[in-house]
Structure 1
Amino acid sequence: MGSATTQALAASNAALHAASGVDLGVSGELFAAGRALADAPQLSGALSDQGASVVARQKVAEDVFGVLGATTRALLATVAAERWSTADDLVDAVEELAIRAAAIGGADADVEGELFQFSRIVAADPQLELALGSRLGDPAAKGALVDSLLRGRASDATTLIAASVVQRPRERRVRELLARAERLVAAQRGRTVATVTSAVALSDAQAARIGAMLAAKYDTTVSVNTVVDPTLVGGLRVQIADDVIDASVASRLADLRQRLAG
């Protein structure tokens, strides 16, 4: 991510934080705008063209997205006013705003946990992963498939996010899309996601204790997702951000075998 994009993204997220009336409707409109930008490189290029004035770029955004709600238009105007390193960065930013807006609109739901569980379902079903990840599939049909799988089983916010991100993967795998969305939802809520893998299922109390220890270590609120993997034999494997803490028996045995091998 270029320095221009870093600053532009911070300004766009600040605008979202300051906006009023952010709900799932705004999120849905932002997702739609992001799809339109991804489908029209000339449009995303025009909005990220630093050779054009801010006023000119904002006018393009208003001309194209003028039918959307006032809050959505204001956020897109902020995006158009910023300096982006590439047009793709601008498209990513609109998608990020959409995900963060869904996190705000679905504040009472466990969106991070639901996205994680859906990613596990996708990972366990190769046919589903292929259907959602195929470049040949119709984007709207992919969204409809996810909606049919999650509707009534997950929150509206989770359903909106998952059904939206699969429609325009832009060379990203489905699980990567869902993991990014999960991280962004957690970030919007001031949390960091940790994935804890154990040989047996952890109780809620055990997961809470692990979350408390990680929160103390990393000085942030931690949202814990748990995975059962019997091959670990015992112990835990924890991944939080880019850090991996592997205290599993399988890991210690592998390390011992490596040392014995010289």
Structure 2
Amino acid sequence: MGSATTQALAATTAALSAVPSVDLGVARELFAAARTLGESSQLSGALADSSAAPAARAKVVADVFGATFQPATVSLLSTAAQQRWSSSSDLVDGIEELAIRVAAIAEPDADIEGELFGVSRTIAANPELELALGSRLGDATAKGALIETLLSGRTSAATTLIVSSAVQQTRERRVRQLISRAMRLVAQQRGRSVATVIAATPLGRTQTKRLTAALSQRYGTDISLNIVIDRSVVGGVRIEIADDVIDASVASRLHDLRQKLAG
């Protein structure tokens, strides 16, 4: 990610904080805008062209989206278009990020991170489904409809929207990669981090509370735990949070011992 894009993301996130209220309709429109830009290199290139005046780029947004989208959506898109992005692809990513953040705000009581994690695990356990969703072949709208059918009644509307939108515009990215990104963004929007805990057996309530408290103290932020049961770790836990890996599993210690004995 270039420095220009980093600054642009900061500006669009700040603009979102200044919007009085947003709902899932705004998130849905932002996702639709991202798809439109992703499908039109001419339009995305025009909005990401730093040689054009910001006001001119804002006018393009108004001309293309102003008649059909809510004012809040158009305002956020206009802010995004007026920033300097490292590439047109980064602009599309930035609008997707805004959409995910809006979805997190729109349903504050929904366990979106946990639901996204569950969807990711389900996809990982079904290679044929993952292949179908990530394939270049097939109609994008049909993929989105498939996700809506699969998740109907099982996840919140925000989670369903995020996943169905992700599969409609993968842009050479794996679906699970997109879902992991969404998890991180939702957690960040809610002021916490996500930790994946891999354990041989389910953790009890007391263990979960202690681990959450310890990680929160270590990282200086609230922590949301996603727990994966994997018998191969034998005992103990392996924790993945951001780029850190804390491996306190028996399997890891046995591996280290074998390495030492081998010599």
In structure 1, C-alpha distance between the alignment counterparts of 2:228 and 2:261, rounded to whole Å: 30
Moved over 6 A (4+): none
In structure 1, C-alpha distance between the alignment counterparts of 2:167 and 2:206, rounded to whole Å: 34
> What residue in structure 2 maps to residue 239 of structure 1?
240
SS at 1:103 equivalent: helix
**Residue identity matched to 2:39:** D
Aligned length: 262
In structure 1, C-alpha distance between the alignment counterparts of 2:137 and 2:192, rounded to whole Å: 36
SS at 1:239 equivalent: strand
In structure 2, C-alpha distance between the alignment counterparts of 1:72 and 1:19, rounded to whole Å: 10
In structure 2, C-alpha distance between the alignment counterparts of 1:47 and 1:99, rounded to whole Å: 21
Q: How much does 1:55 deviate?
A: 1.1
2:236 is the alignment partner of 1:220: no
SS at 2:168 equivalent: coil
In structure 1, C-alpha distance between the alignment counterparts of 2:183 and 2:3, rounded to whole Å: 24
> What residue in structure 2 maps to residue 135 of structure 1?
136
**Residue identity matched to 1:187:** Q
In structure 1, C-alpha distance between the alignment counterparts of 2:206 and 2:226, rounded to whole Å: 13
In structure 1, C-alpha distance between the alignment counterparts of 2:125 and 2:105, rounded to whole Å: 29
> What residue in structure 2 maps to residue 126 of structure 1?
127
Q: How much does 1:21 deviate?
A: 2.3
In structure 2, C-alpha distance between the alignment counterparts of 1:204 and 1:23, rounded to whole Å: 34
Q: How much does 1:18 deviate?
A: 1.0
TM-score (norm 1): 0.99
Q: How much does 1:137 deviate?
A: 2.0
Mark the CA change 1:192 to 1:142 in structure 2 (over 3 Å): closer, same or farther. same
Q: Which one is further off, 109-118 or 198-207?
A: 198-207
> What residue in structure 1 maps to residue 8 of structure 2?
8
1:199-218 alignment, distance < 5 Å:
199-218=200-219
**Residue identity matched to 1:248:** S
TM-score (norm 2): 0.98
1:78-89 alignment, distance < 5 Å:
78-89=79-90
**Residue identity matched to 2:57:** R
**Residue identity matched to 2:161:** L
1:1-262 alignment, distance < 5 Å:
1-66=1-66, 67-262=68-263
Q: How much does 1:234 deviate?
A: 0.3
Q: Which runs of 5+ in 2 are unaligned?
A: none
In structure 1, C-alpha distance between the alignment counterparts of 2:44 and 2:205, rounded to whole Å: 45
SS at 1:238 equivalent: strand
Q: How much does 1:51 deviate?
A: 1.1
Instruction: Give the share of equivalent positions with the same residue, in percent.
Output: 63
Q: How much does 1:205 deviate?
A: 3.0
